[in-house]
Amino acid sequence: PAKVVTGVCRFSYANLWEAKAMDENSKPKYSVSLIIPKSDTKTIEKVKAAIQAAYDEGKSKLSNGKSVPSLNSIKTPLRDGDIDRPDDEAYANRYFINANSIIAPGIVDADRQPILTHSEVYSGIYGRASITSRSSVTVIHLEGTAVQKKISLMMRISLTNY
């Protein structure tokens, strides 16, 4: 797994205090959308490197000789707000990552002291996040057999007060 500590980014759709399930068939997860300015090239490069590492790890797990689609042909966690959310001004000129975990994230302040008051961390607040990319491999059957690599992100959130 590859760990990335982001620069300052905006937290959106923050479900950090209580795990929520997308539907009745899915596991409850803690989640947040991390909105990263495109100008933060240092964070973007670290995220891309973590995605590449997770891809390579997943690809190496496949010892059955099946072909794996290129990284460029699969959907990765790093998304372009100008393309994927063109009508939402909050995502303009920004990338975003939808991070989630079944384990409650650790939430701390700038002094790394735990934040326990829910009203201190909310959607729209700015902070830093520590995210870990891990690979999982899912086999999908299409006209014959193809293998698709899926990348998931687990998260630990650190809040920086401003």
The tens-digit pLDDT sequence of the chain (162 residues) is 578 889 999 999 999 899 999 899 989 988 899 999 999 999 999 999 888 888 887 777 765 666 777 788 778 889 999 999 999 999 999 999 988 888 888 888 878 788 888 888 889 988 888 888 765 544 443 433 344 434 444 444 444 444
Within 8 A by CB and 6+ apart from 78, the residues are: 44, 47, 48, 51, 95, 96, 97
Q: Specify the pTM.
A: 0.80
CA pair distance 52, 101, nearest whole angstrom: 20
Query: Is the CB of residue 154 less than 8 Å from the CB of residue 2?
Result: no
- The long-range contacts involving 60-64, CB below 8 angstroms and separated by at least 24 positions, are 61/135, 61/137, 62/137, 62/147
Cα–Cα nearest to 159, from 112, 123, 116: 112
Cα of 9 vs its chain's centroid, Å: 13
Contact 60, 51 (CB under 8 A): no
